C-alpha cells in the first residue's frame, strides 16, 4: 500500500516499477492530510487500479474535487483500523490542515511510526511513536537556512510555527524522546529542497553516533528525486 501519493500518478508508477512493484500489486492508499504534496496522484492511482482509499472525513471533504471513484474507507482520527494483516493507528498531529494525522502500523510484533508535517511534537505524538522498530520522521528544514533563505517572511513564519514543519533539530529532539533499544531503523524525510541539505539533516541525528548510550541504528535520508533503499523483514520477523 501507499501512505500518501504526493507525486503524479505517472511518476509514482515509474518509481514503483524500479523496485519491482506494479499498480496491480497495491491493495490500498492511506492519506495523512489534504495538501497537494501528499495527494497529487490520489485520483489517478485510486481510479486506475480501483484502490480503496483510507482517509478521515474532514480530509476527504477537502479532496472531494479529485473525484475518487474507488472505494472510500473513512476513519476517525484516533480510532484504529486494519488493512489485511496490518493494524493502523492514526493520531492527530499539529499542522495547518483540516485534520492531519500520523500513523503507527503494527505487523505481528513489529511497529512502524510515520509522522510528517507537524509543527512540534505533542505529548500524543511522543506517546504514539514510542516502541517503534522503524521510525519514518519529517526533518523538513535547517532553521538558519530557512531564516536566511528566499521564502517570503509570511511563509517562513508558517513553516516555523507550531502548525508548520519539524526542523532538523526538532526531529533530533523527538528521536531522543522516543529512543529505545528496539529502534532499528530511522528514515528522515520531507526534506525541503530550498531550506535543507542532506548533511544538515544528518547533523540533527549526529548524537546517535557520538554517544555510547545509543546502540547502532540504521539511518536513511529520503530524497525527493529517487527511490530510497528497501527495508524488509524476513519470515522469521527479523529486519533485513
End-to-end CA distance of the chain: 19
Q: CA dist 165 to 117, 121, 138, 158, 168, Å?
A: 5, 10, 8, 8, 10
Quote the strand ranges of the chain, DSSP E: 2-3, 29-30, 53-56, 72-75, 81-83, 86-92, 101-107, 110-115, 134-138, 185-189, 218-221
Residue 227: pLDDT band with limits 50, 70, 90: very high
Residue 30: pLDDT band with limits 50, 70, 90: very high
pLDDT at 200: 97
Residue ranges per domain, the chain? 1-75, 77-240
Kindly report the pTM of this predicted structure: 0.94
Could you give the CA distance from residue 141 to residue 83 in angstroms, rounded to a whole number? 33
Q: What is the dihedral of CA 40, 44, 47, 53, to 10 degrees?
A: -20
Q: How many CA atoms lie within 13 A of 18 on its CB side?
A: 11
Residue 69: pLDDT band with limits 50, 70, 90: confident
Is-contact 57 74, C-beta < 8 A? yes
pLDDT at 238: 65
Give residue for cell 489517478: 44
- Give residue-wise pLDDT tens across range 182-217: 999 999 999 999 999 999 999 999 999 998 899 999
pLDDT at 45: 93
Q: CA dist 181 to 15, 85, 168, 184, Å?
A: 33, 25, 22, 8
Superfamily of domain 77-240: Ribonuclease Z/Hydroxyacylglutathione hydrolase-like (3.60.15.10)
Q: Which three cell numbers stand for residue 239?
A: 529486519
pLDDT at 239: 65
Mean local confidence (pLDDT), 93-111: 96
Could you give the CA distance from residue 29 to residue 55 in angstroms, rounded to a whole number? 9
Is-contact 118 102, C-beta < 8 A? yes
The percentage of the chain sitting over the pLDDT mark of 90, rounded to a whole number, equals: 87
Amino acid at each position: 500500500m501507499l501512505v500518501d501519493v504526493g507525486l503524479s500518478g505517472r511518476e509514482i508508477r515509474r518509481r514503483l516499477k524500479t523496485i519491482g512493484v506494479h499498480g496491480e500489486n497495491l491493495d490500498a492508499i492511506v492519506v495523512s492530510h489534504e495538501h497537494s504534496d501528499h495527494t497529487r496522484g490520489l485520483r489517478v492511482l485510486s481510479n486506475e487500479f480501483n484502490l480503496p482509499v483510507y482517509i478521515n472525513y474532514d480530509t476527504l471533504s477537502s479532496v472531494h474535487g479529485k473525484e475518487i471513484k474507488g472505494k472510500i474507507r473513512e476513519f476517525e482520527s484516533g480510532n484504529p483500523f486494519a488493512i489485511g494483516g496490518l493494524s493502523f493507528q492514526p493520531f492527530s498531529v499539529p499542522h495547518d490542515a483540516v485534520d492531519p494525522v500520523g500513523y503507527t502500523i503494527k505487523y505481528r510484533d513489529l511497529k512502524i511510526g510515520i509522522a510528517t508535517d507537524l509543527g512540534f511534537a505533542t505529548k500524543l505524538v511522543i506517546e504514539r511513536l514510542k516502541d517503534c522498530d522503524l521510525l519514518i520522521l519529517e526533518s523538513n528544514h535547517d532553521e538558519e537556512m530557512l531564516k536566511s533563505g528566499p521564502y517570503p517572511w509570511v511563509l517562513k513564519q508558517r513553516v516555523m510555527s507550531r502548525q508548520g514543519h519539524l526542523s532538523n533539530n526538532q526531529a533530533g529532539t523527538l528521536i531522543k524522546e522516543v529512543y529505545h533499544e528496539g529502534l532499528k531503523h530511522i528514515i528522515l524525510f520531507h526534506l525541503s529542497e530550498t531550506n535543507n541539505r542532506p548533511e544538515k539533516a544528518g547533523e540533527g541525528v549526529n548524537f546517535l553516533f557520538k554517544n555510547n548510550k545509543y546502540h547502532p541504528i540504521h539511518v536513511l535520508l529520503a530524497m525527493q528525486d529517487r527511490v530510497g533503499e528497501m527495508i524488509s523483514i524476513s519470515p522469521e520477523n527479523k529486519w533485513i
